[in-house]
Each structure stands twice: as C-alpha cells, then as structure tokens.
Amino acid sequence: MTLRHAVLAALLSGEYSGYQLAKAFDVGVANFWYARPQQLYLELSKLENDGLISGREVVQQTRPNKRLFMVTDAGLAELAHFAAAGSKPSFIRDDLLVKVQAVDHVDAAPVIAQLDQRALAAAAKVEILDKLLRRFRGDLDEETYLRDGSPIGPYLTCLRGRRFEQEHHDWCVRAAALLRDRATRNGDPAPTSDQSR
Amino acid sequence: MTLRHAVLAALLSGEYSGYQLAKAFDVGVANFWYARPQQLYLELSKLENDGLISGREVVQQTRPNKRLFMVTDAGLAELAHFAAAGSKPSFIRDDLLVKVQAVDHVDAAPVIAQLDQRALAAAAKVEILDKLLRRFRGDLDEETYLRDGSPIGPYLTCLRGRRFEQEHHDWCVRAAALLRDRATRNGDPAPTSDQSR
DNA sequence: GCCCCCTAGTCAGAATGATGACTAATCATA
DNA sequence: TATGATTAGTCATCATTCTGACTAGGGGGC
C-alpha cells in the first residue's frame, strides 16, 4: 500500500487539490510514483476518511469549486511510521525491456521503433526535470543547495529521476542503433523471425 | 498483462521448470521483471492452458519430479504480437524514494539506514550482473559482442539492469552521505552505519 | 536422532492498481 | 457560433499482483 504514502509525501510540499495533484504526478512526483487522476481522487477520499489529510472547500467563480488537502498530524505520524519500516527492493518493470529480451526471436523493427520513441520521451522528461531542479535551486549552485538548500527530499528524488531518464535515454539510443545495424548487416528490411532455436 | 510476456521471454533462452524460473527471476530476468515463485507457477499453468508453452515431466530419483517448459510456436506468435503493440512509459516505483521525498518532515535516521542497506544490495547486484555479462560474452570484448554476439536481447537487458543498479547505488551513497552531513551539522546524534534498533 | 534448508509445487483470497464512462461549467479559437 | 480544450471531480468494475499457508521427500550438519 504505497500510493497512499506517495500521495501523503506529495502533499507535504503544500496544499493541493486532486486535480493539481494529478498534474504533479505527471511531472515531478512521477519520479517515484505514478497514478491516474481517478486513483488519486480515490486515494484522497480514503486518506481524508482515515483522518490523515484534511480538505477545505475553495469556492471559485470562474471555475468549478475545488477541495484543497493538507497533511494532518496523524498523516505525518503515519508517514514517519512508514519511513521507519523496512522497504522492498526496487526493480525496473518495463514492457519495452521484455520486448528487447525477446528481440532475438521476434521481428526487431517494431521494437526499434519503440526504442526511438522512448528515447525521445526520456529526453523530454530530462528537460522537464532539469527545469524543476533549477527552480528548486534558484540562485544557488548545486553543491550549495545540496548542503544547505531546502527542501532536500524532493530535490534528491528529482535528481534520481533525472539520472534514471538520462540512463534510459542513452540505453534506448544505443540499443536502437545496435539493432538497426545488425538488421541492415543481415541484409533485410524485414528481419528473420527465427534465428537461434 | 505482462508477467505473462516476461515469462514467455524468459523461457526463450531454454527449458525451465517453475522452480528454476523463480531462481532466474531473482537474478538475470529481474532486470526487467520480478515475481514471486507462486505467481510464476500460476502463470506457467495459464500459459500451458493457452497453448503458448508446453511442459514435459522429468522424473527424478533423488528429488521431486519437475516439469520443464518451452515456448511453442503459438507462444512465439503471441510474443511477436506483444512486441509489435504499443507499450506504456516506464517509471520508477520505489518505496525508498517516497521516504526520501518526505525526509524534510520525518526523522531522517531510519531513511539513512535504508539508503545504506540499499547501496550494499545494489552493489551486490552489480557484481552479479557483471558476472552474467561476462558469461554471455565469453572471450569476446563488449564491442564485438554487441556487434555480432548472440543472444543480443538478454545482453541488452542485462546491460540496462547493470546501469540501473549502478545509478541506484551511487544515488543511495550520495544521498545517505548528504543527509548524514546535514544531520550532524544540525547537531543531531550522528547516525553512522552502526545503527541498531 | 533432530532440525533446518533445499527442491518442487499448489491454492485461495486479500490488496492494489488500472480503465472506461460519466457530469458540468468556463475559456479560447476558428 | 460551434468546437474543443481546461478545470474539477465521481463511480463502478476489471485486471493484476501479492501474501500466507500448505504438502512432501531428501540431504547435511550438530
């Protein structure tokens, strides 16, 4: 049960509505978790029911009213408890890796196409995260921010996300180039589907 | 539905029993997916029911009998279909990142301890993957293997896994050092690697 | 002789996450 | 003056994953 804690942790940086939170989960927060808006709304309801967050209605004229949530003391305690408990090892879980794993036995062309796409997406994500990191830092250089800046948690997770996306990008580019090279050297626009069985 | 395809892709490299597959999912295959043995047994049953793999009983005297599975032509077709279909973007989903995100608001000590642990685990994983990569390569150097070696799919996913673990390790080490430094400068009782509670 | 670990596998059910289909008002654009 | 995008949110249900408990025999160490 960790979407719960991811939402709690995300709410630490300020009051958010479900909608705003959904936006955040598409950029910054997505470094450590991701969820669709519907899941977030649901989780927010549950959290409020359990008294871990409290919401207040904000009436708006030009837009639909919204509910802003903030973490309660009980919520903080829950987070502290979660932070102190053991955590399971992390691992990649990626469709595309599964496809690459099978690339010796299936048509490589669509896999290469997806690697290209992913590389682009990852590059875009890197830029977004760079922007976020700069916004955190303000005038400070990174070394100084890491030593004294605040908040440090979100900055660190962003940094991790940035590295991850960078690595992902580099790997995609390299793998695509490599598979393309192999395909052309094998002299086929449509690679054979049966090589080593 | 991708544990299904992860299992199929893993079975491409040879015949495995459920038990052996479970082992593989703890090391090499874990680069792109992870699952508990129970899930694997279940998935293998389903796959066999759907005719995507076929199993044969192997009688053993000293040990319980086992069933070895291999991918059928229908299974290969399914994989090809899967490889050609679109895939969702990948992202990290990690308990520990959630905890770091919250580290400005909760006690840092247990988080630091977990970062230390994770760093060790990641370093161990890197060594395992290095060994695996060397076994793939045999006498060839990496450049040559990437150009002409076989299989290339598993090698590439291993490479990705290795990079991921390396990055994870480096980040954990850095984050732990940083948080420790901040804690001591704030005059807290310095939590060194010697934590016991 | 006892106990724990390893091989090998099964089952049921709880927890968690994902998806599609809705409502409803405002704003910018063509 | 339509058309579509944006803000804001709800509901029901499906899919997938995770967990604990269980069976069963053999081998190795104390």
C-alpha radius of gyration, chain B, whole number: 21
What are the tens digits of pLDDT across the range A32-48? 888 999 999 999 999 99
Q: How many CA atoms lie within 13 A of A162 on its CB side?
A: 16
Indicate yes or no: CB of A102 within 8 angstroms of CB of B12: yes
Indicate yes or no: CB of A106 within 8 angstroms of CB of B83: yes
- What is the average pLDDT value for chain A, to the nearest integer? 90
Interatomic distance B21 CA / D25 C1' (Å): 21
Q: Which chain C positions come under 7 Å from a protein C-beta?
A: 7-12, 15-21, 24-27
Interatomic distance B63 CA / C3 C1' (Å): 20
What are the tens digits of pLDDT across the range A122-137? 999 999 899 999 999 9
Which residues in chain A have Cβ-Cβ distances shorter than 8 Å to B80? Answer: 106-107, 193
Give nearest nucleotide to B62 (CA–C1'): D26
Query: CB-based contact (8 Å) between A196 and chain B?
Result: yes
Of residues B37, B29, B35, B26, the one with CA closest to residue B11? B29
Share of chain B above pLDDT 70, in %: 94
Phi, psi of B142 (to 5 degrees): -60, -45
Question: Is A2 within 7 A of strand C by CB distance?
Answer: yes
Integer CA distances (angstroms), A170 to A126, A182, B21, B164, in order: 11, 18, 30, 12
- What is the average pLDDT value for chain B, to the nearest integer? 90
pLDDT at A11 over 90: yes
Place of tokens 């800046």: A149
Instruction: Give CA–CA dist B27/B3, Å, rounded.
Output: 16
What are the tens digits of pLDDT across the range A58-79? 888 888 889 999 999 999 999 9
Interatomic distance B88 CA / C14 C1' (Å): 27
pLDDT for B192 equals: 53
Instruction: Give CA–CA dist A159/A132, Å, rounded.
Output: 10
Low-confidence residues in chain B, pLDDT < 70: 28-29, 188-197
**In terms of residues, how long is chain A?**
197
B51: left (phi over 0), alpha (psi -120 to 50) or beta: left
Of residues A179, A97, A162, the one with CA closest to residue A128? A162
